[in-house]
């Protein structure tokens, strides 16, 4: 009887061990399946948010193009063509809650919006020709003395090393060895609605890459600190452009005219806030010295505009930056760049 009892105990122990192993395996498989399901839900939610954000930013970009097109149409109807900071396109969109716009619609009930995440949209349009264009430094593969003088004056104002300007000009020549940049590419008139020549680069050359953003000027020999200092006053556009005196900063105006001092540039900026310049002659009448007159490097209209859009969902944000070129009432996209990230969580109290 004793051996039989021991065998029964062994059988019960093996059964209990098998049951425990089965429960462990089932729990492991269930946990793995739950994790896979959670991960799939998170990926699907992130992809849905990304797609929705992209569509909202595309809509904002199309709205910006419409504003610029209507501005050109209104300017043509009024017989002018000046672009200035009192126009609708120059008014920035501060961060606004999108659900507040949806709730204002008569066809959308307020209870439908309950439970939706808070989304905030902000954006602005910047006149790209309010800054000094780096591409003006080189024409036909050779440095342009007038433009080099302009950048030299700006470097001196900002206290930047002159040797970096020399490196920038030399590397720009190497980056555009066969660049079709004859003329400034801005034509005559106000600078808007003109057709700049195409910039072609010899891909067989061993020179540096041609940058498209100001931050990429480090490719042409500038230090990061110099690029940061130049950021508010310098841009990189696909073709040579004129400086719009209606939107340029006092520092850019100061650098663009050899005999103009900074105080005179600030007076011009203060004057245009009261009434924008309809022509270069309007601005030149305010300059007493004939050596401080605006000329071929200046205009009162623009063809290139930067559009910045930002969509924020809770702590996640998506940003898009685009460069638009307006030719008459046609507005096309030159390039677009998008980035995303997340802000840090607020500190616990």
Q: Is a pLDDT exceeding 50 seen at residue 101?
A: yes
Residue 242 lies in a domain: yes
Check pLDDT > 80 for residue 260: yes
The answer on pLDDT for 89 being more than 90 is yes
Domain assignment present for residue 279? The answer is: yes
Q: Does residue 198 register a pLDDT over 50?
A: no
Q: Tens digits of per-residue pLDDT, 22-64?
A: 888 888 888 888 888 888 877 776 677 667 777 788 888 888 9
* pLDDT bucket at 330, cuts 50 / 70 / 90: very high
Q: Is the pLDDT of residue 73 over 80?
A: yes
Res. 223: pLDDT tops 90:
yes
pLDDT digits over 149-191, tens only? Answer: 999 999 999 999 999 999 999 999 999 864 444 344 443 334 4
Is residue 305 domain-resident?
A: no
140 domain-assigned = yes
Residue 204 domain-assigned? yes
pLDDT of 193? 41
Is the pLDDT confidence value at 203 over 50? no
Could you tell me if residue 85 is inside a domain? no
- At 102 the pLDDT is 53
Confidence of residue 92 (pLDDT cuts 50, 70, 90): very high
Residue scoring higher pLDDT (166 or 292): 166
Residue 259 has pLDDT above 70, yes or no: yes
Within a domain: residue 92? no
Output the pTM of the full model.
0.76
| 326 within domain boundaries | no
pLDDT for 290 beyond 80: no
List the domain range (segments joined by +) for residue 201: 131-296
Count of structural domains within the chain:
1
- Distance linking the first and last C-alpha atoms of the chain: 71
Q: Is the pLDDT of residue 280 over 80?
A: yes
| pLDDT score for 191 | 46
């Amino acid at each position: 009887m004793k051996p039989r009892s021991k065998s029964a105990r062994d059988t019960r122990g093996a059964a209990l061990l098998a049951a425990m192993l089965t429960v462990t395996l089932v729990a492991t498989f269930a946990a793995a399946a739950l994790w896979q399901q959670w991960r799939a839900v998170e990926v699907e939610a992130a992809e849905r948010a990304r797609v929705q954000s992209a569509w909202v930013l595309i809509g904002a970009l199309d709205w910006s193009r419409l504003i610029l097109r209507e501005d050109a149409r209104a300017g043509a109807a009024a017989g002018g063509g000046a672009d200035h900071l009192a126009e609708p396109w120059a008014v920035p969109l501060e961060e606004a809650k999108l659900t507040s716009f949806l709730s204002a619609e008569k066809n959308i009930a307020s209870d439908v919006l309950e439970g939706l995440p808070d989304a905030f949209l902000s954006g602005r349009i910047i006149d790209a020709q309010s800054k000094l264009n780096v591409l003006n430094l080189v024409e036909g593969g050779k440095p342009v003395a007038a433009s080099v003088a302009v950048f030299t004056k700006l470097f001196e104002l900002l206290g930047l090393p002159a040797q970096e300007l020399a490196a920038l000009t030399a590397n720009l020549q190497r980056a555009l060895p066969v660049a079709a940049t004859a003329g400034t590419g801005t034509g005559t008139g106000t600078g808007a609605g003109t057709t700049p020549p195409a910039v072609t680069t010899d891909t067989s050359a061993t020179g540096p890459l041609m940058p498209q953003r100001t931050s990429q000027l480090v490719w042409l020999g500038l230090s990061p600190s110099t690029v940061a200092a130049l950021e508010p006053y310098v841009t990189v556009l696909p073709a040579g452009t004129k400086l719009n005196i209606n939107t340029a900063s006092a520092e850019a105006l100061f650098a663009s005219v050899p005999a103009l001092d900074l105080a005179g540039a600030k007076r011009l900026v203060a004057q245009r806030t009261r009434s924008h310049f309809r022509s270069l002659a309007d601005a030149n009448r305010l300059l007493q010295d004939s050596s401080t007159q605006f000329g071929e490097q200046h205009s009162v209209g623009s063809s290139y505009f930067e559009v910045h859009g930002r969509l924020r969902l809770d702590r996640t944000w998506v940003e898009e930056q685009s460069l638009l070129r307006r030719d008459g009432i046609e507005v096309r996209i030159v390039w677009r760049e998008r980035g995303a990230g997340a802000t840090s969580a607020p500190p616990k109290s």
